[in-house]
Amino acid sequence: MYFALIPSAGSRRFKFCGKPSECLSMIEQSVQRPRAGWYEDPTDMSKVRWWDGAAWTWHIQGKP
């Protein structure tokens, strides 16, 4: 049996899972990501890049 340490608001708790891939899936689901939107491009501070809620896209434009 495996377990994963899942962060939650103000505390940490353990959850048991049957195999490592289940633990990884639970951890990924518990991670809070920023909402989709335009954010400062981490590679060029003079531009903004679209974050789709899970990953950066190739959509880039000048800062408004």
Task: Report the predicted TM-score, pTM, of the whole model to 2 decimal places.
Answer: 0.52
Average pLDDT over residues 44-53: 92
- CA-CA distance, 11 to 31, in Å (whole number)? 14
Dihedral sign computed on CA atoms, order 40, 9, 5, 22: negative
- Separation between Cα atoms, residue 63 and residue 14, nearest integer Å: 42
The two three-digit tokens of residue 19, written as one number: 């195999």
The DSSP call for residue 54 is S
Query: How many angstroms separate the Cα of 46 from the Cα of each of 16, 30, 36, 51, 62?
Result: 45, 32, 20, 16, 6
15-29 per-position pLDDT tens digit: 677 777 777 776 676
